[in-house]
């Protein structure tokens, strides 16, 4: 986010209230405009909030869908929009009731920044099914700081501590950022189906999720088969841990595999 430091003044998303944090961000102002440097408001941390200095943010394909308003049938983009939900940063400030984090801690934020905390799903720790969940960007902002929530293409974010994750300091922080969406999206089903040694896992596509899937499946001890339509990705797939790479054009090989994959 070094470029943010060169941002020009006078391009604010909206008038900034003095009671709010004035954060730098990259926003799209329409479905066809590129991202541009701007300023956005963040709320001052409440007693249960963590204020984070964002160090890295992954680029998820959802960010592109949202910026381009490609989900307009069920989630119209509110412009200006600030995407980004693979956030890694350092705690800058914590509210008085926050005991699990302190200034300087390395932390992450994924796709959610809030929920009601009271519904059956929340009680089970399944906030992703909460009917009142607050997504990291593009959701109605329950604090009223801005028309919608703004994501991680920014230098600051303020998040309820229950939606802040600890990031081990021995990780490469830039490489850790995609764990917050692509990573959990592939890790979760593999844990659910108990992927382990002796199993075969097929990964279709070596993109943002696919490359994470390869690494997790390999780490769990499975035999990893990557299916791709891009011959140029063969070497990358093998380097990341695939045991086999099947080009989609290799129909005979596909037919030969039959039911060979366990998941
Ligand atoms: Zn994502
Ligand atoms: Zn809930």
Q: Is the per-residue pLDDT at 57 higher than 50?
A: yes
pLDDT band at 56 (very low <50, low <70, confident <90, very high): very high
Cβ-contact 158, 151 below 8 angstroms: no
Q: How many Å lie between the centroid of ligand 1 and the Cα of residue 254?
A: 30
Of the listed ligands, the closest to the CA of 183 is 1
- Going by their DSSP bridges, the two strands 165-166 and 106-109 should be labelled as antiparallel
The pLDDT mean for the chain works out to 90
Q: Is the per-residue pLDDT at 14 higher than 60?
A: no
Within 10 angstroms of residue 96's Cβ, the number of other Cβ atoms is 9
pLDDT band at 249 (very low <50, low <70, confident <90, very high): confident
Q: Give pLDDT, residue 112.
A: 97
Percentage of residues in the chain with pLDDT exceeding 70? 87
pLDDT digits (tens, 9 = 90+) for 134-179: 999 999 999 999 999 999 999 999 999 999 999 999 999 999 999 9
Q: Give pLDDT, residue 261.
A: 57
Q: How many Å lie between the centroid of ligand 2 and the Cα of residue 142?
A: 14
What's the predicted TM-score (pTM) here?
0.86
> Per DSSP, what are the bridge partners of residue 89?
54, 107
Q: Give pLDDT, residue 1.
A: 44
Of the listed ligands, the closest to the CA of 121 is 2
Q: Is the per-residue pLDDT at 260 higher than 70?
A: no
Q: Give pLDDT, residue 240.
A: 95
Over residues 108-130, mean pLDDT: 96
Q: How many Å lie between the centroid of ligand 2 and the Cα of residue 134?
A: 10
Of the listed ligands, the closest to the CA of 115 is 2
Of the listed ligands, the closest to the CA of 60 is 1
Q: Give pLDDT, residue 50.
A: 98
Spell out the long-range contacts of 145-149 with Cβ–Cβ below 8 A and sequence spacing 24 or more.
Answer: 145/20, 145/41, 145/42, 145/43, 146/13, 146/14, 146/40, 146/41, 147/78, 148/78, 148/81, 149/113
Instruction: Give the lowest-confidence range in 4-13, 28-37, 156-165.
Output: 4-13
pLDDT band at 251 (very low <50, low <70, confident <90, very high): low
Of the listed ligands, the closest to the CA of 57 is 1
Signed CA dihedral, 205, 239, 65, 50: sign only: positive
Signed CA dihedral, 210, 216, 221, 222: sign only: negative
Q: How many Å lie between the centroid of ligand 1 and the Cα of residue 257?
A: 31
Q: Give pLDDT, residue 4.
A: 43
Q: Give pLDDT, residue 9.
A: 41
Q: What is the dihedral of CA 146, 105, 220, 223, to 10 degrees?
A: 60
pLDDT band at 253 (very low <50, low <70, confident <90, very high): low
Q: Give pLDDT, residue 208.
A: 87
Q: Is the per-residue pLDDT at 7 higher than 50?
A: no
Q: Which residue has the higher pLDDT, 251 or 225?
A: 225
The first and second tokens of residue 218, run together, are 């390999």
**Beta-carbon neighbours within 5 Å of ion ligand 2:** 115-116, 119, 122, 130
> What is the C-alpha to C-alpha distance for residues 166 and 9, in angstroms, rounded to an integer?
34
Q: Is the per-residue pLDDT at 30 higher than 90?
A: yes
The first and second tokens of residue 136, run together, are 């990291």
Q: Give pLDDT, residue 248.
A: 79
Of the listed ligands, the closest to the CA of 111 is 1
Q: How many Å lie between the centroid of ligand 1 and the Cα of residue 185?
A: 8
């Amino acid at each position: 986010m070094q470029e943010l430091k060169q941002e020009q003044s006078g391009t604010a998303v909206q008038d900034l209230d003095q009671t709010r944090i004035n954060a730098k961000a990259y926003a799209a102002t329409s479905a066809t405009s590129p991202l541009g440097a701007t300023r956005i408001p963040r709320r001052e941390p409440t007693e249960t909030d963590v204020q984070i200095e964002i160090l890295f943010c992954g680029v998820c394909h959802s960010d592109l869908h949202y910026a381009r308003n490609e989900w307009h049938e069920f989630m119209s983009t509110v412009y200006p929009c600030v995407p980004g939900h693979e956030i890694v940063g350092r705690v800058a400030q914590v509210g008085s009731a926050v005991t699990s984090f302190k200034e300087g801690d390395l932390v992450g934020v994924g796709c959610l920044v809030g929920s009601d905390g009271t519904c059956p799903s929340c009680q089970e720790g399944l906030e992703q099914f909460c009917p009142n969940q607050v997504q990291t960007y593009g959701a109605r902002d329950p604090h009223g700081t801005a028309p919608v929530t703004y994501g991680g293409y920014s230098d600051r974010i303020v998040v309820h501590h229950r939606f802040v994750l600890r990031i081990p300091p021995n990780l490469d922080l830039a490489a850790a950022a995609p764990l917050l969406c692509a990573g959990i999206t592939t890790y979760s089903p593999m844990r659910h189906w108990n992927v382990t040694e002796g199993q075969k896992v097929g990964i279709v596509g070596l993109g943002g999720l696919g490359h994470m899937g390869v690494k997790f499946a390999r780490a769990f001890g499975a035999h990893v088969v990557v299916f791709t339509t891009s011959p140029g990705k063969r070497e990358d797939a093998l380097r990341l841990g695939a045991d086999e790479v099947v080009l989609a054009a290799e129909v005979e090989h596909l037919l030969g595999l039959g039911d060979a994959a366990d998941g």
